[in-house]
Structures are given as C-alpha cells and as structure tokens.
Structure 1
Amino acid sequence: MSPVRLKLSPTTTSASSRLSSPARHLEINMKNKLDFPELAALKAARPTLWLNGGVEPAERAAMPISSADVLAAAERLARFKPFFRAAFPDTQLNEGLIESNIVELNNFKVALDKRFNKTLDGQLLLKNDAYLPISGSIKARGGIYEVIKHAEQLAIKAGLVTPDVDYQIFAGDQLKRFFADYRIAVGSTGNLGLSIGLIGRALGFAVDVHMSADAKQWKKDKLRSIGANVVEYQSDYSIAVQNGRAQAADDKYCHFIDDEQSRDLFVGYAVAGLRTKQQLDKMGIVPTTEKPLYVYLPCGVGGGPGGVAYGLKMVYGDAVKPFFAEPVASPCVLLGMASGLNEKIAVQDIGLSNQTEADGLAVGRASALVCKLMAPLLEGAYTVQDDTLFELLRTMQDEAGIFLEPSALAGAVGPWFVSEKYNTKADAYHLIWSTGGGMVPPEERQKMYNKK
C-alpha cells in the first residue's frame, strides 16, 4: 500500500494574532475574524499544525480549577471503589480503581520511523485508556465521575448514606430503588453515552442517551441491551446535545451531563494527571523542562483531552507539552482557538463536512469551557486524515498487538507530525493517549482493520 503523505503548512501563531473579541453571533463581520495562517489548510481539509502563541509559563497561567478540586474528585472515586468492585467485575483486579496502563511502543516506533523516514528521538509510550474498565474509553474517567458525584449528592441529601460508610451500599437494592425515580441524560457521538449508560443503569437511574448520526450501531445496541433509552438524530453532535439539554431543563428529576460545559466532567478527567504521574514515577520517568513529556490527545468537543491536559499541567507544569489531535473534517478546537472565536464558530462555517470515521471526534463546535481553560496551557493542535487513522490502526495491531478504534489513533502520528515544525527536544518522552476501542465487538474490529 502506498503511504499517505502528510504535508504540513503550519505557522506558529503569535500571541497578538489570537483574537479575544466578545462572544457574538458568527454573522458579525466574519471576514475580519477568520484571518490566521492555518485557515487555508483547514478549509482544504489538509493535515496541518497550529501552534498556540498564547501559551504561558505554568506559574503564570490562569488555572481556576484548583488542585484541591482534583484531589477531592480522586477521593470521591476512591470512596466508590467498593461499589465498582461489586458492580463491575473488570475492576476487581485493580481493587476498584478505574485506571489504564502505560506501555512502551518499541516496535510501533520502529515501524513509524520507517513510515515517515524520520527517527523519533526519545521514548515512545502509550497511555491505554482504550482499555479502561467499565466502558473501554477515556469517557470512563469524566463520565463515570460525574454520575457517581450526582448519585452521592442525592443519596446524602436523602439521608441514605454518609461519606464514611462502605460504598458497596450503592450496589444494593435500596439505593437502586431510590435512583429509579431519577433520570440522567447525555448527548453523545458514542463513547460518553456508553459510559453514562453503563454506570447510570448499574446505579439504577433511568438513562436517556441522545446520539448523533455518527454514532456506531453497536454502541446503540449495547446501550439498549442494558435498558438505556437511545434517542437517535440524523444531525450531528451539537443537535443531540442541544436536545438533551432541553429535555433536562423541563424535568427537575433529570440531570443532564453536558459535554460542552460540565466542570464535573472536566475535573473527573483531570484526575488522570495525578494517576499518570504515579505510574511514570514507578517507571522511573520524571519529566523536566530539559527532558519534557509531550502528550498527544485525540480531541472531539475537548472535555476529555482538556481535562487530562489540565491535570498533567497541574502536576508537571512546564515539563509537559500537550497537543490535541483532530480529524481534518472536524477540527473544532483548533478552529475555535486559532480564530479566537472558540465556541462561536463551527467547522461547517468554513465549508467542512464534520463527517469522519473517527466517530468520537465528529464534533463541529468546541466547548467554550475547554477553549477558555486551555488558552494558556495547550501547546498546539493538529489534524489528521481518516485513511491515516486506519493505516495506524493496522500498524498498532500488527506491531504492538493492541486494537484501537480509529479515533483513538489520532494521537499516534503526533510525535512525527509535530516535530516537523515544532522544536521538540531530543531524548524527550512522547506519550500517545489512546481513547477508545476496548469494547468494540470482534467483527467490527476486523472490518476496521480491513478498511483501506
């Protein structure tokens, strides 16, 4: 098979070119707003790299979510470990801890060095969130966290639990009967809905998952099999979220998990920073500004990668350099941040389709919360073609024996792609963050592997 050539036309965007005008409807003088070097490549759906000229030293960057917030989330997750063990057998091996491993990708690195005719300096690692317990994706972090926080608050308010009891009680019939009077709703392209459905139904909640047209059928089938209500749309992710939000607004017993705006989701993802540091410490890996940790995160609306990047910045400061990876048809965060319009612009506004095989990343409009929080922290973002994702899927399977769904491979090209124009340090650490694939049925895996 002929290799897919990735051609860059990136230009570092200066801080002065990052616009910060007040939020207004896009019909405002759009010509004057859309003026940044990467725009032509984005419009043409060509792989490109944007470097954030507004990134700030960690000690000066605004970080309104505190380390105390993230530690409190970690403590809540620890309280629920007895429930996780009781309700989900795949958490028992790790004593109820929902965490993924970090592996070195030696053979994969050799294969991609050859593929790109470029030797990557440093160590290549994979953070394998595609195999997180319960739901097999990064959404097992933020999604599950927000549901258990909501459940805990309801139960404490009703006088049914106190924080010092054994939380295995949440697996019992009494609390399930109590939660049956409440609903949880979410809008999703797939993996977030799957996570919410699995944890919500295990606790006894009624669950409504509003799914966009990009969502894979097997994910809808899985949700229905556990008793979740799947509401399907022929439109994209933003409409699914909008309708889910409207449903919850009219029902005082319904809690809407808002992937575009939720602080709780974001904090749940940020716990990954603490956990990753613990794992890297055990591996003898201590990033520094001279030997930094570059992290490549697949990005949809931005909540998952944003929370992870935020948590890593919290523990490593300037020693970590996060990059987001998006499909060429759906670069909503890159577009929003590079233009300065954030959530006020959608990829369809520049003629892109938002149609991609990377269903988890098929988002046309970025999260306002994420754009704001990432403005001083994100090193940059890049785009990747779908056919490259499938090529990487086969290479990861063949060389590392790890199956990942297409969206989870967006970060895998990052170490080579970014280094063409960004001054990555030699002998650094490169961490690819995989985001989904652990629950993909065998027949679907084979179809993805065979797709050219």
Structure 2
Amino acid sequence: MQEWAMEYPLIESMRDLKPVTWINPFAKKEETDRSFPLTKMDIIEAEKLWQRFAPYLAKAFPETKPLNGIIESPLREISHFKEALEKHHHETLPGTFYLKCDHELPISGSVKARGGVFEVLKHAEKLALENGMITKEDNYEKFMEPQFKQFFKQYTIGVGSTGNLALSIGTISAELGFTVDVHMSSDAKQWKKDLLRKKGVRVHEYDGDFSVAITQGREKTEEDPNGYFVDDEDSKALFLGYSVAALRLKAQLDVKQITVDEKHPLVVYLPCGVGGSPGGIAFGLKQVFGDAVHCIFVEPTHSPSVLLGMMTERHEKLCVQDFGIDNKTEADGLAVGRPSRFATEISQKLVGGAYTIEDDELYKLLTMLADREGIYVEPSAAAGLIGPLKLMQSGYVKEYGLESQLINGTHIAWSTGGALVPEEEMKVFYEKGKSLLRR
C-alpha cells in the first residue's frame, strides 16, 4: 500500500475517506489514442431508434405524450442556488449555472431511463425484426398489441442494480411483456424493491454490494437460453442510450441561445457509479462540442471506484475494497466498488477530472437546492451541485487556461434521480440536510 501511495499520492487521502480532486493527465496527452469502439454515427443511429419507438412510448407511458414519446428532461437555470452556494462558501463563481433535470425523466425518474430503456427497446426491436413481427418502416405502436406481449413473455430480461437502473429496466421490460429478474444489492432502497414488485418484476436481494448483485444476476440470466442480461459493467447499448443526451442538450442550449465554443466553455458535472451513464453522456458531449466541453465525474468518498480505475489505469481490475474503502454510502445510485471496463477505458481519454464528496455534503446541497429553487432530488443526484466550487478550488482552471473564459462559461450539474422517491423519504433527506446546515 505504501508503494501505491508513493505512485498515486491521492490514494492516502482516499483511504482516509477525505474529499479529493483529480485532474486527468491522460485526457491532455497529445499521443492519447482517440479512437473509440463507437462513433458519432452510432449516436445518431441510437437517436433514430428512440424516434421509431416514440409512438409506442407515447401510448404506453402517457407522461411522455407532451414530448410525443421522447424521454427527455428540462434544463433549468439555478441562479438562486448559485448565490446560496457562493454565500455559504464565501466564493465567487464565474459563469451561469444550470441543472439538467434527469430526476424528472419519465418512466423511472432518473438518468437510467436513458440507457436502461434504450437497451431494452433495442433488444425488443431485434427480437421482433428477427421473427418477422415488424419492419423498421412500421408504426411502432404495434408493440402495444397483445400478440407482442405474449411473444416477449417467453424471454427473460435480467439486470444487477443498486436501484435506479433496476427501476428503468424493470418498468419498460414489464410493460413490453418480458419476464423480468432484477438482482439488487444490499444498499438498494426498500421502496424501489417494493415498486418493482408491484410491476410484476421478480426481485432477488443480496447481502453484498453491487458487484455481488451483478455477478449473480449475470450468471443466473445466462443459464436461461432465452435470457438477456443488461450488463452495467460492459454494455455498449447502455452507453449509447446515454450518449444521445448530448444531441438533446445541444438543442436545449440553442433554444436558450447559449453559445459553446473556446471562448464560452461548457463544464458538466456528472455523478458517477459504475461509470456507464456519465461515460456515455461525456462521450456524446465530446462528439458534439469537442474541446469546448469539460466533463467532470463525481463520486462518494466511500465509493471512488471510477476515479481509482482511471487514475491507476487498472480500470475494472481494482475495486475500492482493495484499498480498505468500504463502499458504503447514502448515495445508493453511486455505491459501486468496481468500475465498468468498457465505459472507464473510454472515459479516461475524455474526462477532465473527478472529485469525491462526503455524504453529509450531499444532504446539505439537496436541502439548499430545495430551499432556493423548489427542486427536490435524491442524495446521489446532488453530487454535481458543488462542481463549480471544486473546479475553482482546484488547479483545473489554470491547467486548461480557462481563467478569462469562465466568466462567459456555462456550468451544468447533471441531476440523476429523485422524482419517484416517496414523499416521506424525501422529507427525511431534506430534514437531515437542514440539520447539517444549522451546525
């Protein structure tokens, strides 16, 4: 462990569960291989699949009807929160601050509605096409017909999850007619398990963490000849579903007349669990905005698996427990001890850096957001809210020569979940943050 700490000085603080900020040296190397297993054309093709399924989604999930079956969230300016953050920390933060409200996404109320729903739709389309039930030129409202539900019933969808991915996979799979098995780790919230069971999903619970749930889920699903496992540790389809968010964000920024270029940088703060959703979003953003966008990952101090994987270049070969870090956090969506191999290898070449945050800070931030903006999110979704402060306190601004540009820049914290949290549970979150702020 001394050798590790000598080579990577941040490890000592990480083992002591202290918040750290890491600037990614690999993203700036000129010799960095920027070839990826996916391209911008893959993102465009993924968006076409979303469009094909839009008529079905508008019928099956009425909450998507206002956007004609498109699953998307608002982009809201949070200037009152920014003022409160500046006052609380006695700092001035240049640029404007927005919240990408993925906690409001239809179907599952979290960012996982992007990747999870996309992968299940992609699998359903593949099965329907192979069996001559549909063509890509048909109106996909046909997926509502009883014969489709009967057909999909013979197939099983499996997933391992800390909670939010399970909600998205379980909801869309059950609606299509699939038999669904969700394998959930010990940190998954009870209300999420209860909600899934109400939808007819078979929920399997494990005493261990995410790695145990996903390993068990993968093995059991693969035993079924008609089983399909949504693998959060190694899925291109999940990654692509998330990446489409970049195209949608570009359209929202255009409507608000927000420029993104070298003189008007965009900085996006992405809460990070296994790395799939922030990795996919970051990949999409880089394809759309190039070097004008800076993507920063955020993890709990107790679960810094992606930061460890990128910093050491060992990716999924290391877990936080190897370093005596317990992977126990109130940010259940981020409670992941081992990162995704596929997503982390790509992210290492793209993201500007990462920081870790303590659980108590998450509660304070979500309470400040509720008080100042009337927006309620779950703890993990608050992780990006302190991003601009962390950026200014690090050497990142100087490293990237942003000293004069940030005054014209835009910060976006990506809110990842919260809409389906029961009111009484949300009240507990809020009161805990209120208590911590009083101290």
How far did residue 310 of structure 1 move?
0.4
Structure 1 moving runs of 4+ over 3 Å? 29-34, 56-60
Corresponding residue number in structure 2 for 1:449:
430
Corresponding residue number in structure 2 for 1:114:
87
Provide the secondary structure at the position in 1 that maps to 2:72.
Answer: coil
* Matched ranges for 1:276-425 at <5 A: 276-421=249-394, 422-423=396-397, 424-425=402-403
Corresponding residue number in structure 2 for 1:275:
248
How far did residue 62 of structure 1 move?
2.4
The answer on whether the counterparts of 2:5 and 2:11 sit within 8 Å (CA) in structure 1 is no
The answer on whether the counterparts of 2:4 and 2:11 sit within 8 Å (CA) in structure 1 is no
Corresponding residue number in structure 2 for 1:52:
24
* Matched ranges for 1:12-411 at <5 A: 31=3, 35-56=7-28, 61-411=34-384
The answer on whether the counterparts of 1:73 and 1:267 sit within 8 Å (CA) in structure 2 is yes
The answer on whether the counterparts of 2:267 and 2:296 sit within 8 Å (CA) in structure 1 is yes
Q: Which amino acid aligns with 1:54?
A: F
Q: Which amino acid aligns with 1:118?
A: E
Decide whether aligned partners of structure 1 residues 367 and 33 sit closer, same or farther in structure 2, where only a CA change above 3 A counts: farther
Provide the secondary structure at the position in 2 that maps to 1:291.
Answer: coil
Corresponding residue number in structure 2 for 1:14:
none
How far did residue 115 of structure 1 move?
1.1
Q: Distance in 1 between matches of 2:29 and 2:124?
A: 38
Extract unaligned runs of 5+ from structure 2.
none
Deviations 1:385-432 (A, max 9, x none): 000000001001000110000000011111101211121542111010
Q: Which amino acid aligns with 2:172?
A: I
Corresponding residue number in structure 2 for 1:16:
none
Provide the secondary structure at the position in 1 that maps to 2:421.
Answer: coil
How far did residue 250 of structure 1 move?
1.3
- % identical equivalent positions: 48
How far did residue 376 of structure 1 move?
1.4
Q: Distance in 2 between matches of 1:377 and 1:362?
A: 23
Decide whether aligned partners of structure 1 residues 402 and 232 sit closer, same or farther in structure 2, where only a CA change above 3 A counts: same
Extract unaligned runs of 5+ from structure 1.
1-28
Using the TM superposition, name which of 32-41 and 164-173 deviates more.
32-41
Count how many residue pairs are aligned between Structure 1 and Structure 2.
424
- Over the aligned positions, Cα root-mean-square deviation in angstroms equals 1.5
How far did residue 448 of structure 1 move?
1.1
Q: Distance in 2 between matches of 1:34 and 1:190?
A: 37
How far did residue 33 of structure 1 move?
8.6
Provide the secondary structure at the position in 1 that maps to 2:244.
Answer: helix
Provide the secondary structure at the position in 2 that maps to 1:125.
Answer: strand
Provide the secondary structure at the position in 2 that maps to 1:409.
Answer: helix
Q: Distance in 2 between matches of 1:165 and 1:55?
A: 43
Decide whether aligned partners of structure 1 residues 413 and 175 sit closer, same or farther in structure 2, where only a CA change above 3 A counts: same
Deviations 1:51-109 (A, max 9, x none): 10010489972233111111111000000011101110100111101000101011000
The answer on whether the counterparts of 2:5 and 2:12 sit within 8 Å (CA) in structure 1 is no
Provide the secondary structure at the position in 2 that maps to 1:152.
Answer: helix
Corresponding residue number in structure 1 for 2:412:
431
Provide the secondary structure at the position in 1 that maps to 2:150.
Answer: helix
Provide the secondary structure at the position in 2 that maps to 1:411.
Answer: helix
Q: Distance in 2 between matches of 1:158 and 1:135?
A: 29
Provide the secondary structure at the position in 2 that maps to 1:80.
Answer: helix
Decide whether aligned partners of structure 1 residues 150 and 373 sit closer, same or farther in structure 2, where only a CA change above 3 A counts: same
Q: Distance in 1 between matches of 2:20 and 2:318?
A: 19
The answer on whether the counterparts of 1:188 and 1:211 sit within 8 Å (CA) in structure 2 is yes
Q: Distance in 1 between matches of 2:203 and 2:51?
A: 30
Q: Distance in 2 between matches of 1:32 and 1:271?
A: 37
Normalising by the residue count of structure 1, what TM-score does the alignment of the two structures yield? 0.92
